[in-house]
Amino acid sequence: MNKLWAGRYEQETAKLADDFNSSIGFDSRMFREDITGSMAHAAMLGAKGIITQDEAAQLIDGLQGILEDLQSGALAIDPGAEDIHMFVEQVLTSRLGDVGKKLHTARSRNDQVALDFRLYLRGEIDELTEATKALVRVLTDKAEAYKAAIMPGYTHLQRAQPITFGHQLMAYVFMLLRDLGRLSDCRRRLNVSPIGCCALAGTTYDTDREMEAKALGFDGVCLNSIDGVSDRDFAVELCAAACTEMMHLSRLAEELILWSSWEFQFIELPDAYTTGSSIMPQKKNPDMAELVRGKTGRVYGDLMGILTVLKGLPLAYNKDMQEDKEGVFDAVDTLKSCLHVMAGMLPGMKARTDKMRKAALEGFINATDLADYLVDKGLPFRSAYKISGNLVAACIRSGNTLESLSLEDYRAASPLIGEDVYKAIDLDACVKRRTSLGGTAVPSVEKQITAARGELMKL
């Protein structure tokens, strides 16, 4: 294809330089946004009398035809084109002649690419939002199903206190709800139009930027033309939001991996989302969860990539900014695929509630409840804590649990302890008493579920 900018040049661009300079290999995914943006631009040019209404109509019809041909496969994107913007304009000009050459009036590729990027990522944020909501629904449903299933809660990966599996799953629900908030914030700041900023200084034509912005669903326009073409904060912010959400998915994936291991046996993942071994027939590997955990690193790298590209750039546009897209596209694609996999896998996850309860019975996770029992009898907490700790140590030496310790042993530790101690340290009672807001008691988990579902309806 002939270069649209070739007028000033006497030499052809070297093939190696052409290939190095080209972005069609990755920005072609924005063809819909490029054409939609150009249709709004043509309509504005016609409305303002910069071109005739008939010319505007020809441009819009021509662009619509290109869009339909690309979507149907009747037209293929030329991999030899420099970028998607030039490809569309050159096809338009080949079909309409001189009228096609009028489309680029009062704009530059600098504001055009910024517009396409914003439009594309806005759509991707909407898809990520829906995928995140779907995963929230799955986790909330699972939490409701297992709201009374007792398991050990952990700190330092050591059994700590009794909780329910539903309570544990709701922790991830609230992480993902915050992720939805970050995506919403990012979309709001992204949703301002740069079109009309032109190369960097605006234009001498009497344009109507607000008209174009409204037609394309933007909330407003960039108020500084230099900032409009050089701003990529929205891409950085989306990558950062993706990193945070991937971190949450990775933490969930890590727990699924642990819980499904033979050492825990708390859950069983569905066959459709696990793999076997080529040599060990007994294996059931949680590969999908492991890949989610592993892919988190590449999204972190995508964020660091765009931050590094932007950190030393003088205003306004620089060719370095062509490097803004591949990393962001990768971050979005990766997060989206991980969300879909998680939402597909978790409905078939089965909890081994017997194994969870057995583990809860073996880890002295009711030791805090024993201390609280003594506090209710009048002891200061620190004194009660020490007595409870001494009793745990005695149990470890003798091979007992707190439940199997004799009343005589309890009374030897403190005369305040009576027969009601066994009721106080019963696992079900321990969970039932944790009724504080956000706690693990079933009514509290039910409130969390109701709150999460209500929040989801607002988003």
Other C-beta atoms within 10 Å of 155: how many? 8
Tell me which residue has tokens 């509290």: 444
CA of 158: how far to CAs of 153, 164, 360, 363, in Å? 8, 16, 11, 8
For 231-266, give the DSSP string.
--HHHHHHHHHHHHHHHHHHHHHHHHHHHTSTTT--
* Cα radius of gyration rounded to whole Å, the chain: 31
**Degrees to nearest 5, angle at CA 56 with 50 and 61:** 165
Q: How far apart are CA 360 and CA 351, in angstroms?
A: 14
Residues 6+ apart with CB under 8 A from 278: none
Residue pair 181/244 in contact (Cβ under 8 Å)? The answer is: no
Nearest residue to 116 via CA among 218, 43, 3, 239? 218
Residue pair 306/328 in contact (Cβ under 8 Å)? The answer is: yes
**Degrees to nearest 5, angle at CA 296 with 295 and 301:** 100
Residue 85 annotated as catalytic: no
**Degrees to nearest 5, angle at CA 437 with 434 and 443:** 60
Residue pair 106/205 in contact (Cβ under 8 Å)? The answer is: yes
Tell me which residue has tokens 């959400």: 245
Q: ω before 429 within 30° of 0 (cis)?
A: no
Nearest residue to 268 via CA among 290, 294, 286? 286
**Degrees to nearest 5, angle at CA 188 with 184 and 190:** 115
Q: How far apart are CA 65 and CA 238, in angstroms?
A: 32
Residue 167 annotated as catalytic: no
Residue pair 179/241 in contact (Cβ under 8 Å)? The answer is: yes
Residue pair 3/17 in contact (Cβ under 8 Å)? The answer is: no
Residue pair 337/124 in contact (Cβ under 8 Å)? The answer is: no
Catalytic residue among 94, 184, 261, 277: 277
Report the catalytic residues.
156, 277
